[in-house]
Amino acid sequence: GENVEQHPSTLSVQEGDSAVIKCTYSDSASNYFPWYKQELGKRPQLIIDIRSNVGEKKDQRIAVTLNKTAKHFSLHITETQPEDSAVYFCAASIKEYGNKLVFGAGTILRVKS
Amino acid sequence: SAVISQKPSRDICQRGTSLTIQCQVDSQVTMMFWYRQQPGQSLTLIATANQGSEATYESGFVIDKFPISRPNLTFSTLTVSNMSPEDSSIYLCSVEDGGAAFFGQGTRLTVV
């Protein structure tokens, strides 16, 4: 089955700096890659996603890149703000099988002001 | 996106008892998913619930421990049976809407 690895496990950045979180997946059939932000005590919130027919997607300060050949995808947050502090999870799924997501272990992002 | 409501939001239960968690969606959905998030950990899929058929369980999860009902296209329940302290986790339901997965607010279960 699918296995998703996520790095780093914790990331501290200064406010205004960029943050990058990387994930690799094992199943070449995976074709959908969402990213979730989870604040303490809250539900995971979808922040951006990408499908395998696209190499990059951007939404304001957030971007995701996908390298299908290398089977890795990354989340980029620019101009970080204290409210970006949270746990971020990457995930992978095969859309034809519904949204059965396999999650990475998560990254704790701390933005220091 | 779909509005997903879970009940209860939290509970403290005695070992050996069972708890049923409800998930209600404001629109009809084909598949509903149940995930477990152990303290400080990531999310793990327990099972997929389809209306009109038995749930499909992931490796490591069995129907006797986590029976699921799916009586219609907007509702599902997950029961955590014969609980032990190891079952203390957050349980979340999820649905697909517009090609993306969204989560309920979760049920925080503590077994004492």
**Cβ neighbour number for residue B100 with a 10 Å cutoff:** 15
Task: For chain B, say whether A43 makes contact (Cβ under 8 Å).
Answer: yes
Tens digits of pLDDT across chain B (112 residues)? 899 999 999 999 999 999 999 999 999 998 999 999 999 999 999 999 988 889 999 999 999 999 999 999 999 999 999 999 999 999 999 998 888 999 999 999 999 9
Candidate from A34, A89, A103 with C-beta closest to B100: A34
Cis peptide upstream of residue B8 (ω within 30 degrees of 0): yes
φ, ψ for residue B80, nearest 5 deg: -100, 115
Taking a C-beta distance cutoff of 8 angstroms, is the pair B11, B19 a contact?
Answer: yes
Could you tell me the two tokens for A17? 């700096």
pLDDT tens for residues A45-87?
999 999 988 899 999 999 999 999 999 999 999 999 999 999 9
Beta carbons of A44 and B43 less than 8 Å apart: yes
Rounded to whole angstroms, the Cα distance separating B19 from B81 reads: 7
